[in-house]
Amino acid sequence: MSLCEVEKNGTYRITRLNLEDANGDRLRSLGLKQGTEVKVISRKKQGSLIIESCGKQIALCKNFASAIDVE
């Protein structure tokens, strides 16, 4: 399932990052890569998320969240 489909306050592990361009490079530079644990802190109606990973909070638009597969 993608990160935009999960519940708030849940903790998930990234299984795949489906962005191979500069956006994917940017997310990987923030520590978001396969095997990384993320916690969903906040969800907005428009689909954007705030997640916590590696001790930092990161805001993601719906397009980026939908490109991150988790379990």
Per-residue pLDDT of the chain (71 residues; tens, 9 = 90+): 999 999 999 999 999 999 989 999 999 999 999 999 999 999 988 889 999 998 999 999 999 999 999 99
With a threshold of 0.75, does the pTM exceed it? yes
Closest CA to 70 of 20, 10, 13: 13
pLDDT at 45: 83
pLDDT at 39: 97
Note the CATH number of domain 3-70: 2.30.30.90
Distance CA 23, CA 18 (A): 10
